[in-house]
Structure 1
């Protein structure tokens, strides 16, 4: 009997081990398939992600328009949605045109500075000796700057196509929003589960919206300050640098570093004066440090309790999968993952790792947060 039981126990252990191996293999295969689809369909998925964010940002605007009354007549929901879609379309097309114009200005100016940029940068290493300066100059001269500029210009040309696709996606989302609550109820088949799912979605939308609003305000302030400093130093591309600083500040951590280095490099190429360039670099770096490490966290408060290391990992992953657009979307995607994992029991530990203090949102906090949102809507 003991031998049979030992054989049976060993057989069960072997079956369980094989089941675990199959589960791990299936997870790896599923991750590889999802990763492949994310890369292959990135243009559509990036446009859809941007459309969802814009839709969530304007949902409150639609409700505000729908509450307006003209005499005894109210504004129909469909008319409010059409008005919001027209506003979004106009704003997106205008912003895309401005961005493309500024990128063309920077790229054309970069090509005009391409010949003297290597010698200007190499002169920064003159204090290390002529051999080092000559080696740096030879290295920079071997870089095909014009090919990189053409690549960036080609990618920028897709911006207008993406803008049109985003507008189409937003239009379809507006058309579907009327039936969203009904679909959720029918999908779960339980009013309590549907209400809980709606609360989770509302929490994601408002946290992402709050992050974007605060980030936009801080980025605008930073861009204006950089423009003022660059103008004071007589930089020809001051306006373009201010606009690009505003855009790059949406990329967490890395964006501010790239923007600061870009301002200093353009300043040195234009002026060729190490002292003024160093002063420009220090002032711009101080602006980025104060706005990014003091004002930004102060305004964010407890609304976004994200792990700094998690943000870096999210930035690296989505940057590798979707390129520069993925870097812009890395934090909103991480906010969504944090909220969802906080309320799925099996993924609660993932939320602990993604949160800053290891204290993700619980059910009571979710209810309190939604109550505050409902109170604000009622005002």
Structure 2
């Protein structure tokens, strides 16, 4: 993941601070960020600097769920051309598919994947960074953005768009506020974070749909991806792997090239298909060990290992610890 984020990921916290009477100097304390810098929405800043500001906000606010309170300032227009493209789609189903393809232009620190069958669309959020105490903030903020997008794009039917939301975190003491905020069926203490919806519910026309605007915004999104160097062969391969396309021949076919040519492109970037697939596998393994209650045997099977011993050996080679040791250390 790119370790830079746009200042628009941080700027809404200035708005939260102003509303809550928190001094800007206190909010930005310990970071290298300034108010003037954050007002320049073309700038990009290190992600760890944002985490400092988030930690300060969590400490200073009186809100029980800072991610939800901050989400009041995270709307589709925070994402510039990406947000304009989202609401210009003919329906939410197409907008969701587009969002996953261009997720590199969002603020999320999570791996976001989708799975579709005939009737159901599922979006999964997997941890790819150690967010520490900020994890709940980012998780609720990003899920709340989905809720905000649904409300803005389909204000009359947004409550019917999601049929299930699983949140991989302990249920908070005041969870009723979370239930009321989302107004969707929610489960805490689950193995993975996901949003599930019936695809038919996403086919309602969007009120801001505009094919000419969409064409223009998609073109600008492509240009922005290139500008941010997210359009590398590595990122394109990673995107398809996250969508469940695991065979290199199928991936090469989607890029209209041979497997050999694809490997050569990756080699020129200093990468390889094996390295990319392995990194994603490691990230999924760490996510399940830290944030789920799945047994090591089930995790091994879910990751494609036929024997738990093989997973144990591989994980120890990656981290220097067995899966069981890693889980114990992660939980203190």
TM range (shorter): under 0.3
Larger radius of gyration: 1
The normalised TM-score by structure 1 is: 0.25
Greater fraction of residues in helix? 1
Greater fraction of residues in strand? 2
